[in-house]
Structure 1
């Protein structure tokens, strides 16, 4: 179960290679190719590519009855310009691994090396390198892929690094750990007019001015309780960037966030009803569509128990503090078909935050993350 010094050196170089060549959601073809190439020497029994987009699943099969245990990482980077002097900084303008997915993928690559040397004693281990986590499309695409049924797990595990938490310390709890969220785009349609005669048109200006604060007020409830709801207006635009035309069209974008999926349905209905009412007051047509849909992530107690046992066996400290998080994570969808759990691995207290332009995944987390997952795999699969 121990990585050699050469393993660590290879894995660090692999992580930094991924960091130099980031690909954003839906564009991860070359990243997927690099993963398949790195795992080639481990001789997985099956390699599925193109899952849900550019996803890769490497299967290490004992050939004997037993559970299927899936470990998942993410392939995608972010559309952020990296601000760094590191030798391995991004070489792609406007794109970078500012969420640490390069590190998560390397942790699974480390697991592949170990499983290649010693197959499970029973059942199967599946390493799922998932695309498009940042947009919420990746997990949905993987689970909807007809080939997923052949590797559908009994247990699914994942991790995310967390700056601001002591290095190597783990946050883990059963129940809700990440909120459901979705982007809502509201379109208001009226009629343009000459700016000298705005009364001859139908402007969405007043409707937009009422809609934005009213949307924000739809949220409520304590974050400690399942009635929590939150609406954040993220973008608005109206008319054309000219002086001679009174506007006839506007868009308002907002993010809806809840602890539970059931509450999300109620919040969507309330937001749509509000938009309909305000549009009608000013004689506007309205339309609504949704983007970047994330279901709530709930950790199954039995899956959490396996992770806790692995943490204790490895002498890694853990607690339930700072959970759940308001942020969303599309790993929650794997929990609809398996017993799943995600842990949050401390990256250190003196690092930039995730999605900051100067964040860089700490290489020393690779060995810690792989120890946790390897111990979990061996306890379930032998």
Structure 2
């Protein structure tokens, strides 16, 4: 990749960084991406996939497999705190997970494919909405347009603060934990604060459930038995001193390595809520949001990525445990060989979702190069 092209991609990354859009609201980002893909000579550009998703197809004209390269479009509802010249211009929103950088690396792949198509098969560049909420990949794959571009092999990356800048970690098998948000509503009956005995307060149930749910999953080794439950939000009654409460709400994040363990953890948590509510004379409702299934890397595809790193002279380390954070990329492994690699953002770099996080521009040519070498390995030399 020439210095001129790298500089162009950096400027583009800064442009995206200034205009973040939240999950499900990526209309302007998607339109800009689609325009850039047309300029980059895509044979077809499909829009509106699973919301604001975009796909670009690069054909070889020779039979062969379809290789997909996936990235994300959405930012976060977090106020950025920085003095960067290109800081977010949208109050309360920021590209604080690096999706701006991920998009630009895949657009770098598009520029390379414009100059030289793969020798066989085709490449599909996947720009997915709503990764942060767990809704995007499911909706993208469920869209009828996806059948036109469904890959046989699909690759993705995520930058990783704490890992040496530009280094790569790869994992065979479980790569990212399953997680979901459990939302519990407890309903009793309000009463005057002077006569609490005339009501049914959820205070006791709430005080029981907070430690009891936390104790269901204490973390530990990242194996098939791993479970972590994290209380993230709780409310009780109204903001008044004159009314004994009649309703409480409790949110808990459930996290496991495997989907099977998630099912058993959900059953344990639901039984605990049911029994506690019954003992206190309360009605209850349980719902789930931001559902992420486990992300599992295909062994052969991991080997393709490891060789691509070697071809590019990128330090690559195979690890034997997944990341604790979740990813909806695992949805693309249903019906395709899928693998994600982690690209180091620096050992002392601010963490993902922190208000002072910024994607390191030095990673742009590295990530783009690994993707191109992986495409070469599967479909033949592209550049």
TM-score, scaled to structure 2: 0.97
2:362 and 2:211 map into 1 onto residues whose CA distance is 45
Q: Pick from 64, 67, 70 the counterpart of residue 69 of structure 1.
A: 67
Report whether the alignment pairs 1:314 with 2:312.
Answer: yes
The answer to whether residue 58 in structure 2 is matched with residue 57 in structure 1 is: no
C-alpha contact 1:220 1:227 (8 A) present in aligned 2: no
1:12 alignment partner, SS class: helix
Superposition map of 1:1-382 within 5 A: 3-220=1-218, 222-321=220-319, 323-382=321-380
Of 213-222 and 18-27, deviating more is: 213-222
Is the contact made by 2:38 and 2:45 (CA closer than 8 Å) also made in structure 1?
Answer: no
Are the counterparts in 2 of residues 172 and 323 from structure 1 also a CA contact under 8 Å?
no
The C-alpha deviation readout for 1:278-328, integer Å capped at 9, x for no partner, is: 000011001100000000011000110110111111111111348411110
Question: Is the contact made by 2:171 and 2:320 (CA closer than 8 Å) also made in structure 1?
Answer: no
What is the CA distance between 1:225 and its match in structure 2?
A: 1.9
Superimposed CA distance per residue, residues 328-358 of structure 1 (whole angstroms, 9 cap, x where no aligned partner):
0110111122110000001112321111111
- Give distance in 1, aligned partners of 2:179 and 2:253: 7
Q: Find the aligned partners of 1:224 and 1:92 in 2 and give their Cα distance.
A: 38
Tell me how far apart the structure 2 counterparts of residues 238 and 60 of structure 1 sit (CA, whole Å).
55
Q: In structure 1, how many angstroms separate the alpha carbons of the residues matched to 2:222 and 2:51?
A: 36
CA contact (8 A) 1:164 1:347 kept: yes
Moved more, 311-320 or 288-297: 311-320
CA distance in 1, matches of 2:230, 2:112: 44
CA contact under 8 A between 2:222 and 2:321: conserved in structure 1? no
In structure 2, C-alpha distance between the alignment counterparts of 1:281 and 1:193, rounded to whole Å: 19
Is the 2:37–2:45 contact (alpha carbons within 8 Å) kept by the matching residues of 1?
Answer: no
Per-residue CA deviation, residues 14-55 of structure 1 (Å, 9 max, x unaligned), is 100000001111110001111112222212111111111111
After superposition, what is the alpha-carbon deviation per residue over 1:80-103, rounded to whole angstroms, capped at 9, x for unaligned? 111111110000001001111000
SS in 2 for 1:83: coil
- Give the 4+ runs in structure 1 shifted more than 3 A: none
The answer to whether the 8 A contact 2:80-2:94 is kept is: yes
